[in-house]
Amino acid sequence: MSTPFPFTAVVGQDDLRLALLLNAVSPAVGGVLVRGEKGTAKSTAVRALSALLPEVDVVSGCRFSCDPGSPDPACPDGPHEADTGARRPARMVELPVGASEDRLVGALDIERALAEGVKAFEPGLLADAHRGILYVDEVNLLHDHLVDLLLDAAAMGASYVEREGVSVRHAARFLLVGTMNPEEGELRPQLLDRFGLTVEVAASREPDQRVEVVRRRLAYDDDPAGFAARWADEEAAVRARIVAARALLPSVRLGDGALRQIAATCAAFEVDGMRADIVMARTATALAAWAGRTDVLAEDVRQAALLALPHRRRRNPFDAPGLDEDKLDETLEEFGGTDGGTDDDPDPDPGPDGPGGGGRPPQDGPDEGSPTGDVPAQGEPSESGKAPAGQGGEQSPARAAEPFRTKVLSVPGIGQGAAGRRSRARTEHGRTTGARRPQGKLSKLHLAATVHAAAPHQRARGRSGPGLVVRRDDLRQATREGREGNLVLFVVDASGSMAARQRMSAVKGAVLSLLLDAYQRRDKVGLVTFRGSAAEVALPPTSSVDAAAARLESLPTGGRTPLAAGLLKAHDVLRVERLRDPSRRALVVVVTDGRATGGPEPVALAGRAARLFAAEGVASVVVDCESGPVRLGLAGQLAGELGGTAVTLDELRADSIAGLVRDVQGVQGTSRRAA
């Protein structure tokens, strides 16, 4: 077993370490979600925590880690006789992003159950993680149904596997830790709420701290065992402090004054439901136990709010995370009481570097790496060299109009992409649409089709009375239809004609509305803009609609309209994405008034570029931004060349009385469905 990086050697990241330690003291807090950029010690800190957890006593031979003192009466390996058991370290189990449902919850061997009458269950990762840590890196990239199963088990403390009348239940109590990079997409609010605490982490910008990060990492890589030995005393001290805090936890008193502050804080930040209040109460209690106190103080409530509320407060998807600390302080002061609401503790700092926490100065994490910022392209002059108002040089970025609920745009046909909420697709979950012979391991049995396949052969198999002889060749896999997420590629005209008459504000509002729709439907998004004499990829395809919204806000406008360049750039982006993710289908949304004025023969070049999309069957829609009493209808002509549909800004609204075809159908739509 490799030597983990010592927890107390992690440089800085105070909130991250504190949140992990509070869950180690009180698993009832409900786990922690760690959000941050790459290279900020997220994974390192989680793996290091497992070495600090006390060892656990388990029943010898039990695959579900039952406690000898109180074994689970419903354990599939039980009933257990009196057993002194064995002691082993607490486990840290990692759930890979590509894990299947069977790998997570365990698998029933349906073939043996039907053909041999044997009830065989193979435990999954939830059973392995019982009484330990379940670590999910890139939790935002997991399929939604896996996250649902995972969080349900964490909330109930048990996992249930039920298939075709066979049911297995086993205990599954674990410390749940998820990490994610917000640039790769967000979790749904319903799933965010199931994590007890959340922490935002970022790399330090202080040179001295970054030097210390590199120094410690290099020393660890050169000699992991020797490096860990130098931190053994600090590790032992924190381990002992966890044990002491666990023992003290039942004696901690949560007074009415602290409870009133918790309730008032949750109400002030308009969090939904009561889970936030309960998590705050448990966190404040754990903070007091970690500090060695038996009373919950106001600073415990404040720290609990900073950890438990940022991911629960009501906010738009594009709003910055976090809490308004001034508002928090005002609420705590207004509802402060004499019962548990004083600030007279001599050592109010409950952080991991307090007593027994190592005594080393807090610095930054041991991993390396930092995000790169993209600088918006500077404006280009018009081809004539002049800059008339609304047509020539770069205009200051217009603010987006208020977003609205949009009509549903979907890709025709049936895909097989990642789970989402936009277009029809063959998925593991959804309504059953048919049956087929299994390809590989059977997971979803279609019982009726299996019976139909086996019934004609009963006489040949010697069956003359009641009952049914089923063989492996009779088994049928259920085919299911659900929804997939798509790649929504925005191709936005940022030329001078779009900036005229403040049109760009409405355009940005429409694109922002479509981005919000993409967020809700679990799509990837990309942004291509064209203006002046060229096009650029303002945002490569990503799952972070926040990043797309930020690029849209700072989008400069002005210059001529190189429509062909924009379409060709989008075509190149799609070509690369097909190599990276062949199963994810694309929807191209061209936002323009249809004018083409940049480059030689601009209209003819734009038509040829558009026909490339039609020839490949790419679903597309043109958002017609033309306004005024005299309209040329160029956007409609462009939609015809693309083989897609044109829709005005007004028709894009969900409450518009104008009709909009739900599937973006065109010349290639029929052939695409047939394929």
Helix (H, G, I), strand (E, B) or coil at 40: coil
Q: Which sign does the torsion angle of CA 446, 448, 454, 456 carry?
A: negative
pLDDT of the residue at 263: 93
The tokens for 598 are 């940049």
Residue found by looking up tokens 């059953």 in the block: 432
Write the burial class of residue 624 (CB in 10 Å: 0-12 exposed, 13-18 middle, 19+ buried).
buried
Q: Which domains does the chain have, with CATH numbers?
A: 7-54+90-206+219-334 (3.40.50.300), 426-483 (no CATH), 486-674 (3.40.50.410)
pLDDT of the residue at 549: 83
* Element housing 529 (H / E): strand 524-531
The tokens for 651 are 């028709």
Active site residue 275: yes
pLDDT of the residue at 107: 75
pLDDT of the residue at 611: 95
Beta partners for residue 169, in sequence order: 160
Write the burial class of residue 32 (CB in 10 Å: 0-12 exposed, 13-18 middle, 19+ buried).
buried
Helix (H, G, I), strand (E, B) or coil at 297: coil
CB 323 within 8 A of CB 306: yes
Q: Could you list the mean pLDDT of each consecutive 10-residue stretch along the chain, which spans 675 residues?
A: 82 89 90 84 84 86 86 83 78 83 77 61 87 86 78 83 72 87 72 85 86 91 91 91 94 93 91 89 95 93 92 67 82 71 45 42 38 35 39 58 84 86 81 82 78 84 77 85 89 80 78 85 89 90 82 82 93 93 93 86 92 94 82 89 92 64 43 39
The tokens for 669 are 């739509």
- In terms of Cα–Cα distance, which of 495, 303, 290 is closest to 392? 495
pLDDT of the residue at 318: 59
Amino acid at 264: A
- In terms of Cα–Cα distance, which of 47, 52, 224 is closest to 137? 47
How do beta strands 431-436 and 524-531 pair?
A: unpaired
pLDDT of the residue at 659: 43
pLDDT of the residue at 118: 59
CB 440 within 8 A of CB 457: no
DSSP per-residue codes, 352-393: TTSTTS--PPP---S------PPPPPPP---TTS---TTTSS
pLDDT of the residue at 655: 67
pLDDT of the residue at 542: 85
pLDDT of the residue at 245: 94
Helix (H, G, I), strand (E, B) or coil at 436: strand
Q: Which sign does the torsion angle of CA 531, 535, 538, 543 carry?
A: positive
CA distance to 241, 302, 354, 357, 580, per residue, from 350 (Å): 12, 12, 6, 10, 46
The tokens for 488 are 């929504």
pLDDT of the residue at 380: 36
Size of the chain in residues: 675
Catalytic residue among 91, 275, 551, 673: 275
DSSP per-residue codes, 326-353: HHHHHHHHHT--SSS-----S----STT
- In terms of Cα–Cα distance, which of 35, 149, 134 is closest to 93? 134
Segments in 269-324 forming alpha helices (H): 275-290, 298-308
- In terms of Cα–Cα distance, which of 444, 321, 399 is closest to 557? 399
Q: Which sign does the torsion angle of CA 658, 663, 668, 671 carry?
A: negative
Query: Residue by residue, what is the 3-state secondary structure of 445-485?
Result: ECHHHHHHHHHHHCCCCCCCCCCCCCCHHHCCEEEEEEEEC
DSSP per-residue codes, 160-213: EEEETTEEEEEE---EEEEEE-GGG----HHHHTTSSEEEEE-----HHHHHHH
What does DSSP assign to residue 295? Answer: B
